[in-house]
A and B are shown apart, each in its own frame.
Chain A
């Protein structure tokens, strides 16, 4: 049985553990019920029973869906397995505990303002899932990964007196579409504010997030890469800015790998420094290995020739 077929029933059990107890104890809960507690464990926010139930189901449901989708490729690498197991176990326990503590605090309270939350329960909701995530990530780590490549990195044959450059570009329309949607929401909110339907304060709450979505979407929509004697230059977005330049003398070698968003944790700039991937679409990626041992992956078309040119230029430089 593979991870994906195992994740489906296991996730369903977790989903049942999240939503079944509130449904069973509905008669003993206030409606609306307290869902958030401020300083001193005083409830400061409430929601109706159905909203709370949907929120709880969505919390686990979205994570579960993502994990099921990622299960097929996550098993291929150790970081993938560790993060998959950590997210699955930690996420499941977090969802169950947050549902259970909310239920416990609200149980038999006449109105939501009387719901009292035990500070210990809050600590448990944070600490226990983290501990379980770390432990299950460690247990699910599996065998260490084999070396990324075994053959010689690709090379080109250049004649003397020949100068070679490599240019490539990829674009992904989705970030641009999301940006467009963000801009539309901003426009609608602006219009509503001007006509007086919505107060400015509620717009101010979502404004930073919307602006970030807009900018990130714009910069992540396309990527152009070029290799010349100066090194590799990566330019993001339709305006070719921001730019990242990597000098040849920093690079040890380049090769090509297939990488997917499910392996590196999604789209965009992913991973920790030293093992970053710039992921705009799954598939062929140009992987640089630095002298420092760090690695950078870039999803780009025609990566094979780009890697070959980088290796050739490095060899020429060390020979000269």
Chain B
């Protein structure tokens, strides 16, 4: 699993980790049913605390992207598909729009104009 973090990202670390995992799943690196590496391994690679990674994994479970199963570790949920990637891209778009002074409503208007 390839995880990328933006060093200039101001969001809390666990949200950044969740975003990186969401991106990895959204880009098709992992398909539903695949097992994720243990939180301990991800934490060691990123040089952060395991609890931060676990918090990110729990967030993704609550979103329906991951499944926690006893004895089988964490795997990608069967319901996960392109939605994860779109959600992450939309979030990034929202951040970018804010940088240019646009609000969420402006962005929605923009998307409606496109459709």
Contacts and interface: CB of A to CB of B under 8 A. Distances in A.
B45 A227 contact: yes
Nearest to B3: A165
B1 A162 contact: no
Given A165-B3, A302-B1, A226 B40 contact: no
Contacts of A305: 2, 29
Interface stretch (A20-28, A57-65, A145-153, A166-174): A166-174
Contacts of B37: 167-169, 224
A167 B7 contact: no
Nearest to A171: B35
A25 B44 CA distance: 67
B49 interface: no
Interface in A277-320: 302, 305-306, 309
A196 interface: no
Contacts of B8: 161
Given A161-B8, A240-B40, A305-B29, A228 B2 contact: no
A167 B45 contact: yes
B4 interface: yes
Contacts of B1: 166-168, 302
Contact of A162 (B7, B40, B42): B7
A168 B45 CA distance: 10
A158 B23 CA distance: 14
B91 to A, nearest CB: 16
A244 interface: no
A165 B45 contact: yes
Interface in B24-68: 29, 37-38, 40-42, 44-47
B5 interface: yes
Interface residues on B, range: 10 to 19
B6 interface: yes
A164 interface: yes
Contact of B47 (A159, A161, A228, A309): A228
Given A167-B1, A168-B1, A305-B29, A161 B41 contact: no
B2 A309 contact: yes
A167 B5 CA distance: 14
Contacts of B46: 165, 228
B41 A226 contact: yes
B109 to A, nearest CB: 28
A309 B38 CA distance: 20
A168 B46 CA distance: 13
A302 B45 contact: no
Nearest to A158: B4
B29 A164 contact: no
B28 to A, nearest CB: 12
A164 B2 contact: yes
Given A224-B37, A240-B40, A162 B6 contact: yes
B45 A226 contact: yes
Contact of B41 (A159, A163, A167, A306): A167
A302 B29 contact: yes
B69 to A, nearest CB: 16
A314 to B, nearest CB: 16
A166 to B, nearest CB: 5
B44 A226 contact: yes
A233 interface: yes
A281 B4 CA distance: 28
Given A161-B6, A309-B2, 8 more contacts: A156-B2, A163-B7, A166-B1, A167-B37, A167-B42, A168-B1, A224-B37, A227-B45
Interface of A: 156, 158-159, 161-169, 224, 226-228, 233, 235, 240, 302, 305-306, 309
13 contacts: A161-B6, A161-B7, A161-B8, A162-B4, A164-B4, A164-B5, A165-B2, A166-B3, A167-B3, A167-B37, A168-B37, A302-B1, A306-B2
